[in-house]
Amino acid sequence: MSAVLIVDDNVPVLELLEKVLALADYDVVRACDGRQALDTFRRESIDAVITDISMPGMGGVELLRAIRQASPSVPVIAMSGDFDAYAAVAAGFDAFICKPFKIGAILDIVADALKKRRKVLIVDDISEMRDIVRHVVEQFGFQAVEAGDGAEALEILEKEGADLVVSDCSMPLVDGRDLLVEVKARFPDLRVVVVSANFKAEDVETLKPFGFLSKPYRLNDLRQIILKAMS
C-alpha cells in the first residue's frame, strides 16, 4: 500500500482528500502546514506528497525544495486554486491539481505520479540483507521490489522492468553470476550493482561493466553506489 502525505492548512480539504485516497486503498498521512509535513516526511516512509502551495509559514514551494534535498525521487504534487499548471511544473512539482478538484482527476494524477517513480530490484536470498538495501532505496524515494533468487528476479524484470538491479552473487537456483549473464543478454541497458562477500579474482573482470560492493559494507558506501548508478 502506497503512503501519501497530504498537506493543507484548510482542514475540510484535508478531510475530503483523506477520504478519497483512503477509499482508493492509499495509506494517508495528514499535515496542516509545511513544517509539520517536513517533520512527518523525515520520520515516516512516504511514497508521494500532495501539498497546497499557499500556506502560512513554510509554503508548498519551500516544502518541495526541502523534500527534493531529502528524497529527490518522491513525487510531489502541487494543489492550488490560484496557481497554474505551467507555473507548478516550472517550480519543480511533478503534477498539479486545480482547486476545486474532481475526485477522479486526483486519483488519476496520484496513480500516474507513483507509476513514474524509478524502480530498484533487490535480489538476495537473505531477507535481512534485502531489508537493509530496501531501507536505503526507499530513503531516496525510489520504489523497491524484492526477489529471493535470480530466477524470481528475471521473472520480475520480464513482467515489470526496473531501472536498477542490486544483486547478491551467491544464491540458490539462478545465482548472481548467472543472473548477470542473463541481464546483459536480455536487458543490455539495465544498470546492475553486485554485492557479495565472496568475490573471486576472475569476478573483478566480469563485473567491470557493473558496479560492485564487497560485504560487509558501510551503509554510506551502499548509498553512494546506488545514487551513482541511478544518476
Q: Evaluate whether 3-115 and 119-230 have a shared fold.
A: yes
Could you tell me what percent of the chain has a pLDDT over 90?
41
Q: What is the CATH number of domain 3-115?
A: 3.40.50.2300
Q: Would you list the domain boundaries of the chain? A: 3-115, 119-230
Instruction: Report the alpha-carbon distance of residue 37 to residue 4 in Å, rounded.
Output: 11
Give the tens place of pLDDT for each residue, 39-78.
999 999 899 999 999 898 999 999 999 998 888 778 999 9
In this structure, CATH architecture of domain 119-230: 3-Layer(aba) Sandwich (3.40)
Is residue 126 left, alpha or beta, with left meaning phi > 0 and alpha meaning psi from -120 to 50?
beta
| Residue 16, pLDDT above cutoff 70 | yes
DSSP 71: -
Task: Please give the mean pLDDT across all residues of the chain.
Answer: 87
**pLDDT band at residue 207 using 50, 70 and 90 as cut-offs:** low
168/117: higher pLDDT? 168
**pLDDT band at residue 229 using 50, 70 and 90 as cut-offs:** confident
Q: Is the pTM of this model over 0.75?
A: no
Handedness of CA 123, 223, 61, 3 (dihedral sign): positive
**pLDDT band at residue 224 using 50, 70 and 90 as cut-offs:** confident
Cβ atoms within 10 Å, residue 107: 15
Highest mean pLDDT among 165-174, 186-195, 206-215: 186-195
Q: What is the pLDDT, as a whole number, of residue 227?
A: 82
Highest mean pLDDT among 28-32, 124-128, 159-163, 174-178: 28-32
Give the tens place of pLDDT for each residue, 154-167.
999 999 899 899 98
Instruction: Report the alpha-carbon distance of residue 196 to residue 218 in Å, rounded.
Output: 13
201/23: higher pLDDT? 23
Q: Which of 21, 155, 15 is nearest to 77 (CA)?
A: 21
Q: What is the pLDDT, as a whole number, of residue 108?
A: 93
